[in-house]
Homo-oligomer: A and B are copies of this chain.
Amino acid sequence: MANSTPTAAEATPSAPGHRGVTMADVAKAAGVSRTAVSFVLSNRENASISEETKHRILEAVQALGYRPNAGARALASQRSDWYGIVTEIVTAPFAVDIIKGAQDQAWLSRRFLLIAPSDQADAVGPNQGMEDAAFEKLLEQRVEGLLYAATFHRAVHVPKSANEVPTVLINCFDADGKLPSIVPDERAGGRVAVERLLQAGHSRIGVINLDPNIPAAIGRLDGCREALAGAGLELDPDLVVPGYATADGGYEAACQILDKYPAGAGRPTALFCLNDRMAMGAYDAIKERGLAIPQDIAVIGFDNQELIAAYLRPKLTTVALPFEEMGALGVQTLASLTAGQPITAHQQMVDCPLLERYSV
């Protein structure tokens, strides 16, 4: 009576449509118990299975093409080996780099990254619907940790469901200061950019700024000031022109600077553009005036948007945002959190390396 199961067990393997080979099948083929198979496949230390049996089991695994069922494993072992990442995959040409970094790092530690889309630019807005749903869906998959990646460096509010598992923010930080975050070191980036210009002999440097209130602008400009101070110089406020963060914006800002100062008479010999798109526009303004890059005017950008920086003529020297590194570090941080280490609310900053090309 207790063994009404055997008959059922015999029926199951050939169930229509269900092609999965299970451990039980392997066990039967190898003439052992399912437990033995499980022991062998999970490389249990103190399992006493003879070499011979082990071999037999592994052969059966091969022969049958057994593939473990990740879901069942997760259910039984109470751990999923999955992390989730929420990001706006659309609007962010580089969100993909964060994903790439995270994905690779996850892959290294045999973990899987579930990617959920979040279709809106700002998480602070009222219609967090999509984003909440994304978190919700990921939690339903029982991810062990969450990553939230923003498209540009900023403060965000994270849905409270994020508190149920360890969560790490990438390229943004928690407005409430609770969650650990990973951001680019904008200030250091701004510093190396301007130091590079100084080193090339430029002392009068024009700056095409972004919206001065965003973290990127604040940090990069600070770094710029630091670099100048290091050389005993000061930032001339007249040389800092705000621009829309587009090629057109950069073009106009560059025109302003170039036309304000005649050649020689105080015209800057170098332009620090706070992003590459604006640098792209600046190129046009410079070329239009018959000036050569970098001979007459050096240009340095920020962001390293490959599609722009590597294809401008001359190729643009710029400071790279370390998206891949941030993604990887995010996963690492998550791993240590899920391993039980305490949450450090502190922000981790990642270096922005200078990419030398030909515009300086």
Could you list which residues of chain A lie within 8 angstroms of chain B, going by C-beta atoms?
A: 18-20, 67-72, 74-75, 78, 80, 89-90, 93, 95-96, 99-100, 103-104, 107, 112-115, 117, 119, 136-137, 139-142, 164, 246-248, 251, 277, 280-281, 284, 287, 305-308, 311-313
Contacts and interface: CB of A to CB of B under 8 A. Distances in A.
B68 A71 contact: no
Contact of A71 (B93, B141, B246): B141
B100 A313 contact: no
Copies of the protein in its oligomer: 2
Contact of A137 (B112, B139, B247): B112
16 contacts: A20-B142, A67-B139, A70-B71, A70-B140, A71-B71, A71-B141, A71-B142, A93-B93, A99-B115, A113-B115, A114-B114, A247-B311, A247-B312, A281-B313, A307-B308, A308-B308
Nearest to A247: B311
Nearest to A313: B284
A201 to B, nearest CB: 27
A141 B139 CA distance: 16
Nearest to A136: B67
**Which among A78, A139, A313 has the greatest number of chain B C-beta atoms within 10 A?**
A313
B311 A280 contact: yes
Contact of A117 (B68, B90, B107, B246): B107
Contact of A67 (B68, B70, B96, B140): B140
A91 to B, nearest CB: 10
B306 A141 contact: no
A115 B115 contact: yes
A247 B313 CA distance: 8
A71 B141 CA distance: 6
Which 8 pairs from chain A and chain B are nearest by CB?
Answer: A247-B311, A71-B71, A307-B307, A96-B96, A70-B140, A71-B74, A70-B141, A103-B117
Given A71-B74, A78-B18, A140-B69, A311 B246 contact: yes
Contacts of A93: 93, 96, 306-307
Given A69-B142, A93-B96, 15 more contacts: A67-B140, A70-B71, A71-B74, A71-B141, A89-B96, A93-B306, A100-B117, A103-B115, A104-B119, A112-B141, A115-B115, A246-B311, A247-B311, A287-B287, A307-B308
